[in-house]
Structure 1
């Protein structure tokens, strides 16, 4: 059984291949995926919840070395 991440990842990989063959840049696909994800989330979650999740992603855009996570 696939995890949600594995399922979505497989479809995104196929989407990126199809977009490349249509000369659609990956960043355009990514922006469209964000828009679609928010549309889906709005059907099931409150705006504040969506905002919090998006802010978490934004706050963690940079790769960081978290010392507390080291063995």
Structure 2
């Protein structure tokens, strides 16, 4: 699974895309996104939806990979 790069988008567009994907996804589906920084405002919204998530910094420090598993 190749992460979708959302670094060039203006907020709140990345969050809207992610939440739309989560709300329209299937149980057990895995999603991944590249963001410019840790998505602090998004985390409570993912938790409300019982979405499992993990983050890791890109090796070149140019962004964060957000990995999701839908409930």
What TM-score does the superposition give when structure 2 sets the normalisation length? 0.32
Q: Which has the higher strand share?
A: 2
Rg (Cα) greater in structure: 1
Higher normalized helix content (fraction of residues): 1
Q: Name which structure has the greater RCO, CA cutoff 8 Å, separation 6+.
A: 2
